[in-house]
Structure 1
Amino acid sequence: MSDRIRVIRTHGEDITVTTADGTEILRYVHRPDPDPFESRKPYAHPVRTLAGRTVTGYRPNDHRWHKGVQMTASHLSGQNFWGGNSYVPGEGYLALPERVGSMRHDGFPDLTVEHDRLAVTEHLTWVEHGGAEWAREERGLTVHSVDEASGSWALDWAIRLTNIRAEPLVFGSPTTAGRELAGYTGLQWRGPRDFTGGTVFTPDGEGAEQLMGTQGPWLAFSAEHDDVDAQSTLVFAHAPENLDARAAIHPSHWFVRAEPVPTVAFSWAFFTEFELPPGESFAYRYRLVVADGAWDRDRVTAHLAGLPW
């Protein structure tokens, strides 16, 4: 059986995944960024379709701290693990570097490669700006379902976060601090410039403005590229337990914009804050399907049904 993917790990730098024909579809970077104001943390960029179309943006001029796909926490006990300016009630966005934390890569205890699958376990520590260690994270990244017939592949991203402080960690967002419809936090995707104004839909709705702050099992974002006559689609999907009130620590909502910037976040604290007590943990699992072409609702639904968790 021929290999569908090839994986290269560069110590202290990144992990890259290419297809058998040499197309790099994923680069996961864990090298610390040079600018602490952008909240140093690992990220995935570039992410590409099987045809080689780039579907992530990196350090766009409107938000230099937006980097591909990354785990974030915009408001966490007074610290900013999103990067950039911090939202302050009554004052708006301010450059407060003393509030910007980081996520330190501590190692890959497990990395398994099969002919069509990469499974990575990563250990990280969330560190507030002053150097205090606040949380331990176990992150899971899985590349799978590389399918030339459908022109798609999938990336699963899991997080298990444990509070190692002596007091609760309080998770919020700009919306919980008073800014309407700015509930961004959690796993975030920033699209490339040509995704601006793209098509956004869910199982029962359409349009970024209409879907902002809503809930649902998946959300799709498709757009037409510059330079080439091609379209691409990304599907953002929750694992079933994320939407189970008995299993999830807090309800999730979509943060989504098509204009002025293309971005989606699995927001875990859109409208209200939640607390993680000392020594306690929470977990979420997410899936991104990266596809060539402009998929419609029926195609997304059928494809996800064929990808069991």
Structure 2
Amino acid sequence: MDDQQTLVQTRPLILGGQTVAEYVWRPHVPHTLSPRPFLHPVRTLAGTPVTEMMPPDHLHHLGVSLAVPDAGGTNFWGGRTYVRDQGSLPLPNHGVQRHHRWEAATPALLAHELHWIGPDGSTLLRERRRIAARPIDHRAWALDFRYALQNLTAEPLVFSSPGVKGRTGAGYGGYFWRARRGRNGVKILGPGVSGAEHLHGSTAPWLALCTADAEPWTLVFIDIAAQRDPWFVRDGDYVGVGPALAWTKPLTAAPGEGPRRRIITVVADGDLGPRAIEGLVEAVAASPAPREA
């Protein structure tokens, strides 16, 4: 059945009886947005939302999702496609990430197999995705997101980005979090540095967004597996963060192979400073991972 004909279906992530996120595993969005499962809303323990879905400036930003602008020529990001020396063009090349089967579904753990399908209906990739909500303390919890992609085609599959194709600083693609801007904007912090100009394109072990709104919050993105993918960071026309799979060089997956990644995002109440953020990073590193699905 075509994604445009299905009903939206969601599953909550629950900690201590509280829903901290909704996982839209069967979405209902226009095909030009590259339909894919996503998390929205994601909330702090105090109930403050920290994601945006289909904002007017970028309709294809869907909360927290796994989005790739170019996988074998298919747009799994949504919106326009960047073409070298031509700019961003509307092309009929959008793909779909479609749920195939559940492997685990508990209040705090969701794991499933997805198929990444090209515009011609062929399946390019098989994905195993595992999302877990982990408790930290009274003010914070962690979203543990991991995925493994497998090239199902008979040829090498190339992951690319506008950055690879010549658009400076636009190497986005992979796990991506569209955050709320907040009335007072956001601060961007990393180990010993601050500001997007210092962290965009860096391979820092963690990166944080903080806001001092009436309902302050902090997000801490942790490269828990030390994969050292460059950070894509935006704080101008919108606020978004994600480690990039193909920053300035393409990533090529042989048949039967593909990238495997894991990132943990701490969702905390309060406008936290560097010392408190470092404490959360240490707490996450010291805590045992949830059991495998």
State the TM-score, normalized to the length of structure 2: 0.91
Deviations 1:197-242 (A, max 9, x none): 31001113210122111111110001134xxx22100011112342
Q: Which runs of 5 or more structure 1 residues have no equivalent in the other structure?
A: 1-10, 244-251
Corresponding residue for residue 276 of structure 1: 253
Higher mean C-alpha deviation, range 80-89 or range 11-20:
11-20
Query: What amino acid does structure 1 have at the position aligned with 2:221?
Result: F
Task: Give the CA deviation at 1:172.
Answer: 1.4
In the alignment, which of 133, 141, 153 is matched to residue 143 of structure 1? Answer: 133
- Which residue, 267, 283, 288 being the options, matches 1:290? 267
2:168 is aligned to 180
Q: Is the 8 A contact 1:195 1:258 kept in 2?
A: no
Q: Is contact 1:196-1:260 (8 Å) kept?
A: no
CA distance in 2, matches of 1:158, 1:267: 14
Residue 295 of structure 1, CA deviation? 1.1
Cα contact 1:19–1:50 (8 A) shared by 2 = no
State how far apart, in whole Å, the 2-side matches of 1:53 and 1:215 are.
Answer: 29
Distance in 2, Cα, partners of 1:134 & 1:205: 40
- Counterpart of 2:116? 126
Equivalent in the alignment of 1:248: none
CA distance in structure 1 between the partners assigned to 2:136 and 2:194 by the alignment: 28
2:191–2:206 Cα contact (<8 Å) kept = yes
Kindly provide the CA deviation profile for residues 153-185 of structure 1, in whole angstroms up to 9, marking residues without a partner as x: 011000111110011110111110110111110
- The size of the alignment, in residue pairs, is 280
**1:37 maps onto 2:24 in alignment:** no
Residue 47 (structure 1) aligned with residue 32 (structure 2)? no
1:302 alignment partner in structure 2? 279
Counterpart CA distance in 1 for 2:278 and 2:63 is 25
Match of 1:230 among 204, 215, 225: 215
Matched position secondary structure for 2:280: helix
Q: Could you say what secondary structure the match of 1:306 adopts? A: helix
1:59 aligns with 2:65: no
* Secondary structure of residue in 2 paired with 1:53: coil
Q: Is the 8 A contact 1:33 1:41 kept in 2?
A: no
- CA shift in 2, pair 1:31/1:240, >3 Å: closer
- Could you tell me which residue of structure 1 aligns to residue 10 of structure 2? 14
Letter in 1 for 2:185: G
* Aligned counterparts of 2:28 and 2:110: Cα–Cα separation in 1: 21
C-alpha RMSD over aligned residues: 1.7
Please tell me whether the aligned partners of residues 83 and 165 of structure 2 are also in contact (alpha carbons under 8 angstroms).
Answer: yes
Alpha-carbon deviation of 1:53?
A: 0.6
Alignment of 1:240 with 2:236, yes or no, is no
Q: Pick from 121, 133, 141 the counterpart of residue 153 of structure 1.
A: 141
Q: Over residues 124-175 of structure 1, what are the superposed CA-to-partner deviations in whole Å (9 max), with x where a residue is unaligned? A: 0011111110010000101011522xx1101100011111001111011111
Are the counterparts in 1 of residues 15 and 133 from structure 2 also a CA contact under 8 Å? Answer: no
Q: Percent identity?
A: 35
**Which of 104, 107, 112 matches 1:110?**
104
- In the alignment, the residues of structure 2 paired with residue 127 and residue 112 of structure 1 have an alpha-carbon distance, to the nearest angstrom, of 27
**Aligned-partner SS, 2:198:** helix
Deviation track 1:18-76 (CA, whole Å, cap 9, x = no partner) reads 455x7532000012323110001000000000111110001100110101100011122
Match 1:262 to one of 239, 243, 249 = 239
Aligned to 2:3: none
* 3-state SS in 2 of match to 1:71: strand
Deviations 1:82-131 (A, max 9, x none): 001111111211111x2111111112121234xxxx12211100111111
Taking the aligned partners of 1:37 and 1:86, their CA distance within structure 2 comes to: 11
For the pair 1:253 / 2:230, whether they are aligned, the reply is yes
Q: TM-score, normalised by structure 1?
A: 0.86
Secondary structure in 2 aligned to 1:15?
Answer: strand
| Cα distance, 1:210–1:196 mapped onto 2, change above 3 Å | farther
Q: Distance in 2 between matches of 1:34 and 1:298?
A: 41
1:68 aligns with 63
Q: Which residue of structure 1 aligns with residue 22 of structure 2?
A: 27
**Given residue 179 of structure 1, which amino acid in structure 2 is its aligned partner?**
R
Q: Tell me if the contact between 2:34 and 2:96 (Cα under 8 Å) persists in the aligned partners.
A: yes
Q: Distance in 1 between matches of 2:184 and 2:195?
A: 13
| 2:157–2:254 contact (8 Å) kept in structure 1 | yes
